[in-house]
């Protein structure tokens, strides 16, 4: 690590020496202090650059930890499924929802947390990924924000179902078909919103896993695993969208297992290890060289 920082520093020092020469030469004559200044300038520059590199690495690691925590919060949706699926899948769901109102509200809260976390992942990763591929970084952030927004729309649908259920119980036997039609419509809207949101997640994840694999910001075995896992997740989503299998069916669950565990490992890696410091230093040095070359 220190060796890489030194190489980056040394390349910057050579370029900055040209600037020092210009500063200490006046009309072709060096000032009396030019030799002393030139002898100390590289060392001062090295110290400054080392401090800058350290700050850059710390900033990137802080961003990685934030993203890792957001990945963990994204798993709050699993709690939503556990709380609401047994109720929503029941034939008498309009009655069950009202009876289990607290479960529905908690499920809505956890889904809201998931939606906010998913959008946050895209936003937090963007400043890092844009340095390597701005187009894909913007796409990844955009799709993950769309995903989060759609999941929050699903929260509204869940709460509307609760209101409908409570009104159904109050109405008793009056106009049951009316409530059942509205209930079926809200359930359908919720299902399609979640499927569309999941597709947006898959597209966004494909983009940042590609950048991760190309840049080696995280180990390639981890980003490669994620790329394969998210491809399987897209397949599972398509099967449900085209009604080739049911939501939460065995085949859908099996196809989603690889990406589930990948994101668990990715979250822990980002929190504990952060991004590859050698890649971060190399990219920062390259940017500095390009900036100096433009002058």
Q: Are 143 and 135 in contact (CB under 8 A)?
A: no
Would you say residue 32 has pLDDT above 70? Answer: no
pTM assigned to the model: 0.83
Helices 34-74 and 101-129, axial angle in degrees (round to 10): 160
Q: How confident is the model at residue 28 (pLDDT cuts 50, 70, 90)?
A: very low
Q: Are 73 and 50 in contact (CB under 8 A)?
A: no
Question: pLDDT digits over 234-272, tens only?
Answer: 999 999 999 999 998 999 999 999 999 999 999 999 999
Residue 159: CB atoms within 10 A of its CB come to 15
Identify the residue whose tokens are 């106009």.
Answer: 175
Closest CA to 204 of 239, 240, 230: 230
Q: Are 67 and 114 in contact (CB under 8 A)?
A: no
DSSP symbols for 72-125: HHHTHHHHHHHHHHHHHTSTTHHHHHHHTHHHHHHHHHHHHHHHHHHHHHHHHH
Integer-rounded Cα Rg, in Å, for the chain is: 27
**Rounded to an integer, what distance in angstroms lies between the CA atom of residue 122 and that of residue 106?**
25
Torsion of CA 23, 26, 28, 34, to 10 degrees: -50
Question: pLDDT digits over 175-223, tens only?
Answer: 788 899 999 999 999 999 999 999 999 999 999 999 999 999 999 999 9
Helices 34-74 and 277-294, axial angle in degrees (round to 10): 130
**Rounded to an integer, what distance in angstroms lies between the CA atom of residue 62 and that of residue 101?**
39
């Amino acid at each position: 690590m220190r060796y890489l920082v030194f190489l980056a520093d040394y390349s910057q020092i050579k370029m900055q020496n040209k600037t020092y020469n210009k500063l200490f030469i006046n009309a072709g004559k060096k000032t009396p202090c030019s030799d002393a200044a030139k002898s100390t300038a590289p060392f001062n520059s090295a110290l400054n650059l080392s401090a800058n590199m350290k700050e850059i690495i710390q900033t990137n690691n802080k961003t990685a930890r934030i993203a890792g925590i957001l990945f963990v919060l994204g798993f709050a949706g699993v709690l939503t499924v556990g709380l609401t699926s047994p109720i929503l899948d029941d034939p008498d769901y309009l009655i069950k929802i009202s009876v289990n109102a607290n479960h529905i509200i908690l499920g809505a809260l956890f889904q809201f947390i998931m939606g906010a976390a998913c959008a946050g992942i895209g936003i937090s990763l963007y400043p890092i990924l844009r340095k390597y591929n701005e187009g894909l970084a913007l796409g990844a952030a955009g799709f993950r924000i769309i995903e989060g927004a759609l999941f929050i729309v699903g929260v509204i649908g869940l709460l509307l179902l609760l209101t409908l259920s409570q009104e159904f119980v109050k109405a008793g036997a009056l106009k049951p078909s009316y409530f059942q039609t509205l209930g079926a419509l809200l359930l359908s809207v919720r299902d399609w919103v979640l499927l569309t949101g999941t597709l947006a997640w898959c597209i966004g994840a494909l983009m940042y896993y590609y950048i991760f694999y190309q840049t080696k910001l995280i180990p390639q075995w981890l980003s490669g695993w994620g790329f394969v896992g998210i491809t399987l997740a897209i397949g599972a989503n398509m099967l449900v969208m085209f009604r080739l299998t049911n939501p939460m069916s065995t085949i859908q669950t099996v196809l989603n297992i690889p990406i589930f565990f990948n994101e668990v490992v990715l979250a822990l890696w980002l929190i504990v290890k952060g991004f590859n410091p050698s890649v971060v230093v190399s990219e920062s040095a390259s940017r500095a060289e390009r900036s100096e070359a433009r002058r």
